[in-house]
Structure 1
Amino acid sequence: MTRVLSYQVAAAVAAGELELVLEDFEPAPLPIHVVFQQNGRVPAKVNTFVDFLSHRLGQDPALNAATKQRA
């Protein structure tokens, strides 16, 4: 028995290699925030990174599964 983040074991759970237990005691999912200091113009590399994270994290079913299950 272990405690891990859902995205770390999503593939193994989907493949039936791992089984979720104690689901009634799982904490509520926490949002992910990207925070950066904005002094005037934001560098293009920061905007690119934020856009990448938004797209990548928004498309990851393992990160969105817990939120959808609890809704």
Structure 2
Amino acid sequence: MMATSITWIYACRLANTPSRRHAVNGRDHFAFSDVRRIVTKAAFDDNFTLLCPPAGKSVDNSVVTALLQLAA
């Protein structure tokens, strides 16, 4: 659910409406897969590591760990 929410938040902040990959007559709105395709293209960009650097050594935060265990 978190990944879906982040994807839709990203879609809301786009300057232009994404083009439809599978266009349907009478529908001018875009689908989740259209936004996911844009995110995938951005992730394979060479400059992606500037935005999301590779993960380093993880920091153990006992509060976050406990919350994640409760959610699982």
Normalised by the length of structure 2, the TM-score is: 0.28
Q: More relative contact order in 1 or in 2 (CA 8 Å, sep 6+)?
A: 1
Considering only CA atoms, is the larger Rg found in Structure 1 or Structure 2? 2
Normalised by the length of structure 1, the TM-score is: 0.29
